Amino acid sequence: MNEFRKPGMKLGITGGIGSGKTSVCRVFNVLGIPVFSADPEAQKIMNSDSRIKKEINRIAGKNLFTKGTLDRSRLASLIFNDPECLKKVNTLVHPVVFERFKQWAELQKAPYVIMENAILFESGASSLVDRVATIIAPVEERIQRVMQSKELTRDQVLDRIRNQMDDETRIKMSDYVINNSENAMIIPVILRIHEDLIDHLNT
Ligand code: ATP
C-alpha cells in the first residue's frame, strides 16, 4: 500500500462476490463518506465511450451492443471462458476507471473517500488507495445471498467464487477485515475503522 496520504485519504473496500461490499459501503456513506463503485463506473464507461465500445467489439469479434447497451451476459460468458479476452478488456477499461476515480476523489470534501472494487488487488486499483478493508462472510451465506440477489444457481456462484482471489490472500494484503456474516455486528467495526482513519488524519 502507499504511504499514508493526507489530506485526500482513500480507503479501498473489497471482498468476494456476495460478501456485502455494497451493504458495508452504504453504512460508510451514512457517515458522510463518499463512495466510488468501480463496477458501475466500468459499466458506464463501456456504454458511453465510443473508443472503448469499438475496442470491445474488436476484442469480442462481434457486436455486443446490438440493443444499444452492452450485452453484459454475453461479455461475461466470453471473458469467463477466455482469460486473454478478459485481460484485454481489463487493460482497456481499468485505466479509464482509475482516472475517473482520481478526478472524482479530488472533488470530494469528506475527510476520506472510498473505492469499492471487487477486484481491487487483481486490477491494481489497490495502488490508488491508502488503506484497504476486506469484507468477508461464510461461503455458504454468500452462496445463498447471490443465488437470491442475482438469480444464479449454486454451481454458477461457486464457479465465480473459485474464479476470484481467495479471502486469505485478500486479508494478508488488507489493513482491516470486516466480518459481514449474518450473525456479526458490522456497525461497531465500521465505526472503529472510521475513527481510526479520522485519527490518522488528525495526528
Ligand atoms: P456482489 O459482489 O455480488 O455485487 P456485494 O459484495 O456488493 O456483492 P451486497 O450487494 O452488499 O454484496 O450483498 C449481496 C446480497 O446479500 C444483497 O442482497 C444483500 O442485501 C445481502 N446481504 C448483505 N449483507 C448481508 C447480511 N449481513 N445478512 C444478510 N444478507 C446480507
pLDDT tens digits, residue range 60-114? Answer: 999 999 988 999 889 988 887 888 998 999 999 999 999 999 999 999 999 999 9
CA neighbor of 163 nearest in space, from 119, 114, 127, 103: 119
Q: What local confidence, expressed as pLDDT, does residue 32 receive?
A: 96
Q: Which residues contact 198 (CB under 8 A, 6 or more apart)?
A: 111, 112
Output the pTM of the full model: 0.91
- Of all protein residues, the one whose alpha carbon is nearest to atom 23 of ligand 1 is 20
Greater confidence (40 vs 4) lies with 40
> Is the C-beta atom of 17 inside 6 A of ligand 1?
yes
How far, in Å, from the CA of 70 to the mean position of ligand 1? 24
What are the chain's domains? 9-202 (3.40.50.300)
For residue range 157-186, what is the model confidence (pLDDT) as tens digits?
999 999 899 999 999 999 999 999 998 899
Residue whose Cα lies nearest atom 8 of ligand 1: it is: 18
